[in-house]
Amino acid sequence: MNPNHPTDDLVEQAIEALLNTAGSDEPPPMLVSQVRQAIAERQNARLVNRPTSGVPRNRVSWLALAVTLLLMVTSGWIVGFQGHLLSRIAGEQSTTNNQSYVFYTDGSVELRAPEAQ
Amino acid sequence: MEDWDQIFGDFGPVVWKQTRRMLGNASDAADCFQTVMLEAFELSKRKKVRNWGPLLRRLAILRSLDRLRARYRERRDPRPVDEIAIAAKDSQASRSLDQHELAERLRFALTRLPENQAAAFSLRWVDGLSNEQVAERMQITPNHVRVLLHRARLALQGLLSDEGENRS
């Protein structure tokens, strides 16, 4: 053990005592059998539950993926920046000279002249 | 898929020996043996295990320490470990003790050490690894291992002496 410590060191004695603990050096066969069986059961469970999804990279349809992404970006841009295409009338306010302001849901305002009689 | 028959054949006795030494009785060793093997299996599901020996030996030490802590949880000395170590420097309790009792005291004393000191000490002196191997297992530097071992030995000397005096 460590030469820096005297042989009658209590720690050394305790380590020796621990290393000399009586008992078999082999695990009981019954114990090994039980643990082995538990692992076998878990292995089988793992096979049943193994995920089957996922595609190798070389089999991914890159063209379809690119088109999908392009469509998503384009439609997002349309909805986000061209919202007036989908907007509706939110309200209307008349002025004293028979004109009226029309407010849309995208925030835009339109000034309408009085309709011809 | 791993060949568990071979793993049990190659490393089962090692794990058993470690847990039996650390825990001192067959019943606790059997529980710990089972815990270690099942934990190793779960680890192998998540990550490819290249070297089973070091993994199982380390798990055996760590889980044995866990079980010792649970066993001695209620037998705690409220003083900090450093204080016990200093107090014991002056005492000369290294009288002849029964081997079984001495081993049991060491088991209790290990539960009083900080986790990394207990692990380093057990890997070094119970598992019989070199400082470099302990460093590799614990993913720290060999110098750090030396520091941990020095502190652990000092604290254990205090704890063992203190325990002996308390009983006498």
Give the separation between CA A82 and CA A107, rounded to whole angstroms. Answer: 12
A35 to B102: CB separation less than 8 angstroms, yes or no: no
Q: Considering only the beta carbons, identify the residue of B1, B41, B93 that sits closest to A10.
A: B93
Per-residue model confidence as pLDDT tens digits over B49-100: 888 988 999 999 999 999 999 888 866 554 555 554 544 444 444 444 588 8
Partners of A92 in the β-ladder: A102
CA B12 to centroid of chain Cα atoms: 18
If you write DSSP's letter for every residue of A94-117 in order, what string do you get?
E-TTS-EEEEETTS-EEEEPPPP-
Give the separation between CA B26 and CA B34, rounded to whole angstroms. Answer: 12
Any CB–CB contact under 8 A between B105 and chain A?
yes
- The whole-number pLDDT of residue B12 equals 92
Give the separation between CA A96 and CA A80, rounded to whole angstroms. Answer: 35
Identify the helix (H) or strand (E) that includes residue B81: helix B81-89
- Give the model's confidence band at B15: pLDDT under 50 very low, under 70 low, under 90 confident, else very high: very high
User: Which chain B residues have a beta carbon less than 8 Å from that of A34?
Assistant: 34
- The whole-number pLDDT of residue B79 equals 52
Any CB–CB contact under 8 A between B119 and chain A?
no
Q: What is the pLDDT along chain A (117 residues), one digit of tens a residue?
A: 444 444 458 888 889 888 888 888 889 999 999 999 999 888 887 665 556 667 677 778 889 999 999 999 998 888 777 776 677 888 888 888 888 888 888 888 888 887 655
Identify the helix (H) or strand (E) that includes residue B32: helix B26-46
User: Which chain B residues have a beta carbon less than 8 Å from that of A15?
Assistant: 106, 125-126
Any CB–CB contact under 8 A between A48 and chain B?
no
Residue of B nearest to A38 (CA): B38
The model's pTM is: 0.63
